[in-house]
Amino acid sequence: TGERIVADAVARMATAHSPMLELATGWTVTAEPSTDGATMRIEVQTEQELARVLGLGFFGVMAIGAHHQAHHIQMASGEDPHH
Which tops the pLDDT comparison, 37 or 77?
Answer: 37
- Of 60, 76, 78, give the one whose Cα is nearest residue 24: 60
Rounded Cα distance, 40 and 59, in Å: 12
User: What is this structure's pTM?
Assistant: 0.74
Which tops the pLDDT comparison, 44 or 81?
Answer: 44
Domain ranges of the chain: 4-76
Confidence (pLDDT) at 8: 94
Task: Render pLDDT for 26-73 as a digit per residue (tens, 0 to 9).
Answer: 999 999 999 999 999 999 999 999 999 999 998 899 888 766 666 767
* Cβ contact 27:21 at 8 Å: yes
At residue 80, does pLDDT exceed 80?
no
Residues 6+ apart with CB under 8 A from 20: 65, 67, 68
